[in-house]
Structure 1
C-alpha cells in the first residue's frame, strides 16, 4: 500500500503501549520473584518449619498465593476459569490446600499458575468489567475492572512476599533487601 504520492506507507501502526499496565505487570513480576526467592536454597525440612503463630509453612504460603490469589483473582475473576468456582464450591482455600505440600511442588504449582495468569492478563482489556464474580462474596463489594483486580493481586503478592521475608529471616537471618 502507498500514500497518494506513491511512497510506501510502511507497516500498519500498532497501538501505543499502555505504560501504566506495563508498570503494574512489571511490579507483579518482581513481587512474584521476590516471593519465590524466600524459598531459594532451602532444603525441604527447613522450608517446612513453622515459625509464626499462624502455623503455616513457606510452601503453604506459596500454595495460598497460588490458589487464593493467582487462580481465584486472575484465572477466575478475570478469565472466567471454572476452577475458581470449583475451589469455592468445595469450600477450600489455599491454606488448607497447602497442607503437606512439598516446597518443590509449591514452587512448580505457583510457577504454572503464574503462567496461566500471564496468559489471561495478556489477553484482556484491563478497563473492561470482570468476567466472573461469585454472588455474595465479600458482601456488596466486587471489583469493577481488570485494573482493580491487578492492583489487588499486586498488593496481595507483595504482602505475602513480606511474610515470606520474615519467615526466611527467622530461618537463617537472610534478608531479601539489605541496605548498607
Structure 2
C-alpha cells in the first residue's frame, strides 16, 4: 500500500501525494533506457546532467523539504551543510546509487506526510536560507514540491530529447 492509498492520510494529502507521485514517475520514466554515460552527459551550457538533476531532487527537494522542514529531523538538519552541490555527482558514485537515493527519499517523504493533515504546521524553517517563512503547512510544502518536481521533469524531457531524440509520452 502506498501513501496515496493509505487510510490514515487525509483525503487532501492523498490527492496531493498522488499528483506528486505522477511527477516522480515522470522523472524516472523519462530516464528509462539511458545508460550511465548518457545520464552523466551535460547537454545544456549550464553543465548539469540528468543524473545531477535527479540527485538535486533527492537531496535538495525531497530530503530537504520533507525530512528537514516537515519533520524537523535533527540528523538531516545537521547534515544539510555537508551537501556541497547536489547538482554535481562525483564520478565514483554509481548512477544506480543516485536513482536509488531518489526512490528512498520519496518513500521517506511519503511516510512523513502519510498520517498528517494538510494544515499541519512545519516542524522547522531554514531562516538562514529563506528568511521569514513563505511556506507554513504540509499543504504548502506538497504544492511547492509538486511544482518543482514538475518543472524539473520538463527539464529532463528536454535533456532526454537532446541526448537521444526520445520524447516522453509520444505515441508515434
Q: Where on the TM-score scale, by shorter chain, does this alignment land: which range?
A: 0.7 to 0.9
Q: TM-score, normalised by structure 1?
A: 0.82
Check whether the contact 2:13–2:117 (CA below 8 A) recurs between aligned residues: no
CA displacement, residues 41-82 of structure 1 (integer Å, 9 cap, x when unaligned): 111112111101110111111000000000000111111123
**Which runs of structure 1 show a deviation greater than 6 angstroms over 4 or more consecutive aligned residues?**
none
> CA separation in 2, counterparts of 1:111 and 1:157?
13
What is the rounded CA distance, in whole Å, between the counterparts of 2:90 and 2:45 in structure 1?
16
Counting matched residue pairs gives 165
Please say if 1:130 is aligned against 2:122.
yes
Equivalent residue in structure 2 for 1:30, among 22, 34, 38: 22
Deviation for aligned residue 1:157: 0.6
The structure in which a higher percent of residues are helix is 2
CA RMSD of aligned residues (A): 2.1
Distance 1:179 1:83 in 2: 45
The structure 1 residue matched to 2:86, chosen from 83, 89, 94, is 94
Go from structure 1 to structure 2 and tell me whether the alpha carbon gap of 1:142 and 1:88 turns closer, same or farther (over 3 Å shift): farther
> Looking at CA atoms only, which structure, 1 or 2, has the larger radius of gyration?
1
When the two structures are superposed, what TM-score results if normalisation uses the length of structure 2? 0.86
Give the C-alpha shift of residue 19 in structure 1.
4.0
Q: Of residues 147, 166, 169 in structure 2, which corresponds to 1:177?
A: 169
For CA contacts below 8 A with separation 6 or more, give which structure has more relative contact order: 2
- Tell me, yes or no, if structure 1 residue 81 matches structure 2 residue 73: yes
Aligned to 1:136, the other structure's residue is in SS state: helix
Aligned to 2:3: none
CA deviation vs aligned residue, 1:139-173 (integer Å, no higher than 9, x gap): 32431111000000000110111111111011111
Deviation at 1:91, TM superposition (A): 5.7
Structure 1: give runs of 5+ residues left out of the alignment: 1-14
**Secondary structure, counterpart of 1:137 in structure 2:** helix
Change (3 A) 1:161 1:168: same
Aligned partner of 1:3 in structure 2 is none
CA distance in 1, matches of 2:10, 2:120: 15
Distance 1:69 1:17, change over 3 A: closer
Q: Aligned partners of 2:159, 2:12: CA distance in 1, in Å? A: 32
Match of 1:105 in 2: 97
The alpha-carbon deviation at position 104 of structure 1 amounts to: 1.2
